[in-house]
Amino acid sequence: TGNLAPDKWRISNNSDWEKLKEYTTNNTAVLKGGQSWAEFKGIVHNNLSGFNAVATGFFKNSLEDKEKHLFYWVIQDNNPKVIEKTAVISYNSNLLNHGTNTENVGYCIRCVRND
């Protein structure tokens, strides 16, 4: 309906995530905050960006991989009412990846300010 994000904000789209990927040189260590991330050999998290990504997992019949992943819905650049894919931050990689969306799975939403 277009009423999910607060006034002057919108749900992030693919271009937003590509800008973040470029800004961080595709290193999600600078996005991962708190102690919510499961440990994995050689993978660090330091939240140097202040983004504070928390490993919330996802919902599909039950909470799965609670400390291992964070999924965000990503809308299409040219159609803000259509979900294009997901942005994925994982415990076992410091790369921002994309996944496909699934209607029966719950993911997080990241809003950005309209500027």
pLDDT value of position 60:
72
Q: Encode pLDDT of 37-55 as tens digits.
A: 999 999 989 999 999 999 9
As a whole-number percent, the residues of the chain with pLDDT over 70 amount to 93
Look-up: residue for tokens 């607060």? 6
* Rounded CA separation 63/112 (Å): 26
Half-sphere exposure of 16 (CA within 13 A, CB side): 24
pLDDT value of position 22:
96
pTM score, whole prediction: 0.85
Give residue 75's pLDDT band: very low, low, confident or very high (50, 70, 90): confident
